[in-house]
Structure 1
Amino acid sequence: MQNTIIFADTVIPPEAMIFYYAVYALVAALLIAVFIAGLILTRGARRVVGLWLAFGSTFLLVLLAIFVTIVRR
């Protein structure tokens, strides 16, 4: 049962984890895109919105990394 995740009484085999890692990578790419958009917006008149986007996406990216680390154990 090593490397097998039990979630809500459902056993996910290690071979199926590639799907979950693909979803994590997609979410991470989206958060990085939002971070870049936030940095671009900080140059214009919407500086506060850009800062919220940049810091918010960074915070969510860190949470995603922590979640992936916990799930892998």
Structure 2
Amino acid sequence: MKVPTLKEFRISESPFPVVDPSTLPDNIVAALDIFMMGRTVSHPIYIYKQDWQEFCGAVERNDIKI
């Protein structure tokens, strides 16, 4: 499965780029929430771009089933 592309941006006081997952379909958000457990703080408005890229790679490798 291919996940949607999310545009990266920067927020003030964050040294790392982030993405906004709020527009993702519910099934992808649910899988992302599980993936994010134990990582950086899961946030309904943004997550770090690196976490998003790791999630996308895991989905494409079928390590995460959606």
Shared fold per TM-score greater than 0.5: no
Q: TM-score range by the shorter chain?
A: 0.3 to 0.5
TM-score after normalising by structure 1: 0.33
Higher relative contact order (CA 8 A, sep 6+): 2
Flag the structure with higher helix content.
1
Which structure: larger Rg? 1
TM-score after normalising by structure 2: 0.35
